[in-house]
Amino acid sequence: MAAALINVPSRAKRGDIIEIRTLTSHIMETGFRHTMDGTLVPRDIITSFTCRYNGTEIFRADLFPAIAANPYLSFFTIAKESGKFEFEWIGDNGYASTASASITVE
């Protein structure tokens, strides 16, 4: 089950610096661990995260095996216009998950 928790202020003043916090559900299996019988547990991680603000990419991050399960990312942007933030997580084994949040800018 893919679930995400997004925290974006629902309204902001034009020009305000706002914080965006995202938390998504993922095991982030490193690919370095072995089972009891010695076989390697294959890597299964999120490799990329993107945030678009009304279609324009404003934040992107590459993720690596050392990042803990259920990755939490927080970043800042300037509130320019009302609209929508779209979030996308892409990972191993064709993993893809999306979420969105809207904001009203006054």
Partner 1 sequence: MSFWRAIAVVAFLVTVPGLLAGEIPSDARRSGYSFMGPETRAIQDDDTSNPGMLFVLDGEALWAKKTGSAGKACADCHGDARNSMKGIAARYPAFDKTLGRPVTLDQRINLCRADHQQATPLPYESRDLLALSAFVAQQSRGVAITAGDDPQAKPFVEQGRNLFMQREGQLNLACTNCHDDNFDKHLAGAPITQAQPTGYPLYRLEWQTLGSLERRLRSCMAGVRAQAYDYGAPELVALELYLMSRARGMPMETPAVRP
Please list, residue by residue across 66-85, b when 16 or more beta carbons sit within 10 angstroms of its beta carbon and e when fewer do: ebeeebebeeebebbeebeb
Q: How far is the CB of 30 from partner 1 (least distance, A)?
A: 11
- Within residues 21-50, the interface with partner 1 by CB under 8 A covers 21, 23-25, 27-28
**Cβ proximity to partner 1, 8 vs 79, nearer residue:** 8
Q: Does 70 bind partner 1 (CB under 8 A)?
A: yes
Cα–Cα distance for residue pair 25/17, rounded to 1 Å = 27
Positions that interact with partner 1 (CB under 8 A): 1, 3-7, 21, 23-25, 27-28, 68-70, 72
